[in-house]
Amino acid sequence: MKKLIIEGGRELSGSVRIGGAKNSAVALIPATILTKGKCVIRNVPDISDVKILLEMMHELGSKITYKDEILTVDNKNVENVAISEEYASKIRASYYFMGALLGKFHHAEMSCPGGCVIGSRPIDFHIDAFKRMGAHIVENGGNYKMDAAELQGRDIFFDFPSVGATINVMFAAVLAKGKTRIINAAREPEIANVASFLNSMGARIMGAGSGTIEIDGVKELGNGEVDVIPDRIEAGTYLIIGALLGRDFKITDIVEEHIYSLISKLKDAGCNLKVEGDVITINKTKNLKAVNIKTTVYPGFPTDLGQPMSTFLTQCEGESSFEETIYENRLRHIPHLNNMGADIKAFDKTALIRGRTPLVGRKVKATDLRAGASMLVAGMIADGTTIVYNIEHLLRGYEKIVDKLNNVGANIRLIDE
Ligand code: UD1
DSSP secondary structure of 275-331: EETTEEEEE--SS-B---EEB-STTSB-HHHHHHHHHHHTTSBEEEEEE--S-S---
Q: Report the chain's mean pLDDT, rounded to a whole number.
A: 94
- Which of the residues 112, 116, 271, 316 is marked catalytic? 116
**What spacing in Å lies between the alpha carbon of 411 and ligand 1's midpoint?**
34
pLDDT at 180: 98
- Is the CB of residue 257 less than 8 Å from the CB of residue 234? no
pLDDT bucket at 397, cuts 50 / 70 / 90: confident
Residue nearest to atom 4 of ligand 1 (CA): 304
11/410 Cα distance (integer angstroms): 7
Which atom of ligand 1 is nearest the CA belonging to 26?
8
**What spacing in Å lies between the alpha carbon of 166 and ligand 1's midpoint?**
10
389/87 Cα distance (integer angstroms): 23
pLDDT in tens, 91-139: 888 899 999 999 999 999 988 776 555 556 789 999 999 999 999 999 8
The mean pLDDT value for 156-168 works out to 97
What one-character DSSP code corresponds to residue 207?
-
Asked if residue 219 has pLDDT above 60, the reply is yes
* Burial (Cβ within 10 Å: 0-12, 13-18, ≥19) of residue 97: buried
What's the pTM value of the predicted model, to 2 decimals? 0.95
Task: State the number of CA atoms in the 13 A half-sphere of 180 facing the CB.
Answer: 33
Q: Is 112 among the catalytic positions?
A: no
246/251 Cα distance (integer angstroms): 10
**Residue 122 to residues 141, 145, 161, 191, Cα–Cα distance (Å):** 14, 17, 13, 20
Which atom of ligand 1 is nearest the CA belonging to 188?
14
**What spacing in Å lies between the alpha carbon of 355 and ligand 1's midpoint?**
31
Best residue among 160, 262, 298, 369 to mutate for probing ligand 1's pocket (most ligand atoms within 8 Å of CB) is 160
Residue nearest to atom 37 of ligand 1 (CA): 164
CA neighbor of 332 nearest in space, from 319, 343, 346, 320: 346
pLDDT in tens, 43-100: 999 998 899 999 999 989 999 999 999 999 999 888 888 887 787 788 888 899 999 9
101/33 Cα distance (integer angstroms): 7
Residue nearest to atom 31 of ligand 1 (CA): 162
**What spacing in Å lies between the alpha carbon of 407 and ligand 1's midpoint?**
34
- Is the CB of residue 57 less than 8 Å from the CB of residue 83? no
360/314 Cα distance (integer angstroms): 12
Residue nearest to atom 5 of ligand 1 (CA): 163
Task: State the number of CA atoms in the 13 A half-sphere of 401 facing the CB.
Answer: 27
The mean pLDDT value for 319-324 works out to 96
**What spacing in Å lies between the alpha carbon of 119 and ligand 1's midpoint?**
10
Asked if residue 281 has pLDDT above 80, the reply is yes
Pairing of strands 136-140, 143-147: antiparallel
pLDDT at 192: 98
Q: Which residues line ligand 1 (CB under 6 A)?
A: 23, 26, 92-93, 119-126, 160, 162-165, 186, 303-304, 326-327
* Burial (Cβ within 10 Å: 0-12, 13-18, ≥19) of residue 132: middle
- Is the CB of residue 160 less than 8 Å from the CB of residue 129? no
Residue nearest to atom 1 of ligand 1 (CA): 163
Q: Phi and psi of 406, rounded to 5°?
A: -65, -35
**What spacing in Å lies between the alpha carbon of 299 and ligand 1's midpoint?**
15
Residue nearest to atom 35 of ligand 1 (CA): 162
Prior bond of 230 cis (ω within 30°): no
Sequence-separated (6 or more) residues with CB below 8 Å from residue 381: 8, 9, 244, 245, 311, 315, 359
E strand or H helix at 28, and its extent? helix 22-31
